[in-house]
Structure 1
């Protein structure tokens, strides 16, 4: 029978390792995680750590170590197998995978979510351009399922009707999709120049236009609108943190909106730390993002 609390030293060290990852890799997500109640926070940190570990395999240190594509593919395949095993038996020799498996077994994350996630990770090893169909599949696997994993943690031990869960799941998927599309847009130059990728179907970075940018922003606005509508239904233990993430994404979207397409094709837009702090303060006080009129 699986333990309900991290009672072993190994469990606790695995959790600590996962917590380090989110705070070292992302100021935004690290900031948002601090607004989660402690039990939920650890679950979300465990999820984020695995996602980041997989991303590093396909985009980071593995390539920096000059591993060929076939060897990197072997590593991501091995990571998926180790993750599945940890979800089944509750143990891994990899501390990050162990922490994720610990969470998955408690909040109900299954391979229904991890399989599309790893499929999207593998796509980054070979896909340089996407069709509308492959783009939707990639966004679902790389971001929407992560939102659903986090939602499983948010709703763990919370009585929620099937109808309410469906609405929250829709919001989680759209918030994940918005985040991914925002990242694609602000990393347009780096993804194309460094990695040779063009995620948005039919978009050529060298000829990126205002009309194309506005079409992408309109799609992101729709995702954010749907996600925002689901915020009040989240448990109090997670609502402020998700409101902060929503607020940060909306702020970044507004900055992308006013940045010329020609600039986005060559530079990265970010939200200054003082602005992040202001948004965080509002979320900490329980203020939800207001509906935006465009």
Structure 2
């Protein structure tokens, strides 16, 4: 096999850089991602690598490095501008942005999904307590569009002619993303308040607010579950595992104290993975 050179080598290096970012930040995501088919696995990793970098900019590391709020805003603005430019040009000197742009151009991820994401990241610099309207908008930009990006990969990776995902499946992708985000809001509520000075749920420490959030999560997870059988076979098990992991977190949140950060143990994660591998609960039959 001829060794990769030039742009081919640069592309591969960019993909590896994105995988390194994900490996450093998320074990649960890495577990689910390994169940994705090779056709889509790298594409999903690079999406989450870009998302993670943007999230980290506004969640502390930039400030710890000495950037004030204006400088942090410039950093997130610059990352968005570089990403949008790479969508047009197909190249970036930022390896993770380059990898994301390659995925976006192949799978049909456009500025209509990228811009809302970065808008939500900027919201973290300005909004300390969300009301219902701002919470809905924030969740759309920070999580639902990420689900839609992944869905574009699921249906279009490796295709010559891109297709638009079915409306029902798009709704499922959005609601799964919303459930994931709101679960994270509840898990991280104490840290968000004390370290970042944010309240995503609006007086999130109150039992009433927690109950309303848990009800929304249950409804979103149920709606998303109905759409998983409609996904391509090489994507379904990974999404099913992610759904199972977050459902387990939701169940623990329902019985935990308000400031307790719940988690799913490593043995429980492994058990859920085995169940998904041996029996697909969304088709009702053995795999």
Q: Within 2, Cα distance between the matches of 1:289 and 1:24?
A: 31
Contact residue 17 and residue 96 of structure 2 kept, 8 A: yes
Contact residue 144 and residue 173 of structure 2 kept, 8 A: yes
Which residue of structure 2 aligns with residue 181 of structure 1? 182
Structure 1 residues 114, 161: CA separation in 2 closer, same or farther (over 3 Å shift)?
closer
Which residue of structure 1 aligns with residue 3 of structure 2? none
User: Could you tell me how far 1:43 is from its partner in structure 2?
Assistant: 0.4
User: Could you tell me how far 1:288 is from its partner in structure 2?
Assistant: 2.5
Q: Does residue 264 of the first structure (1) align with residue 258 of the second (2)?
A: yes
User: Could you tell me how far 1:40 is from its partner in structure 2?
Assistant: 0.1
User: Could you tell me how far 1:285 is from its partner in structure 2?
Assistant: 2.6
Contact residue 87 and residue 101 of structure 1 kept, 8 A: yes
- For structure 1, list consecutive stretches of 5 or more residues without a partner in the other structure: 1-5
Q: 1:252 aligns with which of 215, 239, 249?
A: 249
Structure 1 residues 22, 172: CA separation in 2 closer, same or farther (over 3 Å shift)?
same
RMSD (CA atoms): 1.9
Q: Does residue 226 of the first structure (1) align with residue 226 of the second (2)?
A: no
Q: Does residue 24 of the first structure (1) align with residue 24 of the second (2)?
A: yes
Which residue of structure 2 aligns with residue 96 of structure 1? 96
User: Could you tell me how far 1:161 is from its partner in structure 2?
Assistant: 8.2
Q: Within 2, Cα distance between the matches of 1:220 and 1:146?
A: 17
Which residue of structure 2 aligns with residue 3 of structure 1? none
Q: How many residues align?
A: 277
User: Could you tell me how far 1:160 is from its partner in structure 2?
Assistant: 9.9
Contact residue 247 and residue 289 of structure 1 kept, 8 A: no
Q: Within 2, Cα distance between the matches of 1:196 and 1:80?
A: 24
TM-score (norm. length: structure 1) = 0.90
Q: 1:242 aligns with which of 239, 242, 245?
A: 239
Structure 1 residues 7, 40: CA separation in 2 closer, same or farther (over 3 Å shift)?
farther
**Partner SS state of residue 199, structure 1:** coil
TM-score (norm. length: structure 2) = 0.92
Contact residue 128 and residue 197 of structure 1 kept, 8 A: yes
Q: Within 1, Cα distance between the matches of 2:283 and 2:262?
A: 23
Alignment of 1:4-19 (within 5 A): 8-19=8-19
User: Could you tell me how far 1:264 is from its partner in structure 2?
Assistant: 2.4
Contact residue 108 and residue 162 of structure 2 kept, 8 A: no
User: Could you tell me how far 1:51 is from its partner in structure 2?
Assistant: 0.1
